[in-house]
Amino acid sequence: MAIITLNGGTIKTGRTEIKFPHKDKTITFIYPPKGPGNYEYLMNQIDQEELLRPTTAEILSLIDIVLQNPDEKHCGDILYKLRGCHLWTSTENLYTKEGIFVYDNIDGKIFDNEEELFKKLGKDNTIRFVSYGFKTGTQSVSDFVRNPYILAQIGEGLQEVVERVTSKLKEMSYLDIGHISGVEKAERFTVIDANWLSHGLFISGRFNGNDRGFSFGVNKTGKASAQK
C-alpha cells in the first residue's frame, strides 16, 4: 500500500481510495469507477459492495481535485472518462407540473413519491425543490453557479468549487433539462461530463438511466454530510 500526495488531497493505493475535502468533511471515493453501464446496473454494484452512491456535489468535488492533478495517472484516467463518457450521480430528479424535486438517493431508499418528497421538503436537506423558469442550455460561468437548478443539485457551500471546475474546463457551461420540463410526472437521473459537445462542463438532469456511463462508490466511513 502506498500514499500519493495530491495538491489538495491524497490517493491510497491497494484498494485505491481517493480522499479529498468536501464541504466540511473528508470524503473517500473508491477507484476504479464502476462501468461502463446503465444507471441501475452501476448503482446496484455500488450497493452490493456496501458503499454509498455519489451525489452531484461529491462528483464535482472529485472533478475539482483531478483537475488540480491532471498528470497523476488516476486523475488522468478520471478526466479521460469525464471527457469521453458520462459520470452518473445519485442525485435524482422528479419532474412535476410546478417544478423539480431534486434528491440525493445515496442508498437507493428514496422513491419517486411526490407526496412523500413534499412532506420531507424543508425537514430533510437531502431533498430540494426548484420551480421552473431557470435558464437552461449554454450559459456563462457566473450564470451557471447562480442557476437555481444547479444550486438545487449541489446545495449550498459548493459554488466556489463549481466555478473553479467550470472555468478550468471552458468558459461556458451547459445545463440540459429543458426537453421534459412541465410534464405531469417523470423520474430522471443526473449525469456530468465534459466532452466536446458539451461546451465545457455539462450537467443533465433528464437522463432515463439507459445510457452507458461510469460511477463511483463512496466509502461510508468519513462520509460527507448531506447537501445543505
What's the domain range around 74? Answer: 3-87
Residue (of 117, 116, 92) closest to 105 by Cα position: 92
> Which tens digits make up the pLDDT trace of 54-108?
999 999 999 999 999 999 999 999 999 999 899 999 999 999 988 999 999 999 9
Rounded distance, CA 17 to CA 143, Å? 34
Last residue of a domain, one of 36, 65, 87: 87
What is the C-alpha separation between 20 and 11, in angstroms, rounded?
Answer: 9
Nearest CA to 66 out of 53, 56, 81, 76 is that of 76
Instruction: Judge whether 64 lies within some domain.
Output: yes
Overall domain count for the chain: 2
- Of 87, 120, 142, the position where a domain reaches its end is 87
Residue 222: inside a domain: no
The cell for 146 is 447562480
**What confidence score (pLDDT) does residue 196 get?**
56
Whole-model pTM over 0.85: yes
Q: Yes or no: say if 105 and 92 are a contact pair by the CB < 8 Å rule.
A: yes
Instruction: Taking residues 41-57, report their average pLDDT.
Output: 97
Positive/negative CA dihedral, 141, 100, 121, 104? negative
**Does one domain contain both 50 and 126?**
no
pLDDT in tens, 110-129: 998 999 999 999 999 999 99
Q: Are residues 83 and 30 in the same domain?
A: yes
Report yes or no: 222 and 28 within 8 Å, Cβ to Cβ: yes
**Could you tell me the CA-to-CA distances from 128 to 86, 91, 131, 174 in Å, in that order?**
23, 10, 10, 21
Same domain, 65 and 155: no
Comparison of pLDDT for 184 and 142, the residue scoring more:
142
What element of type H or E holds 68?
A: helix 56-68
Q: Are residues 24 and 10 in the same domain?
A: yes
Given a contact cutoff of 8 angstroms between Cβ atoms, the answer to whether 109 and 150 are in contact is: no
| Whether residues 185 and 98 fall in one domain | yes
Q: What's the pLDDT at 85? A: 92
Q: Same structural domain for residues 100 and 206?
A: yes
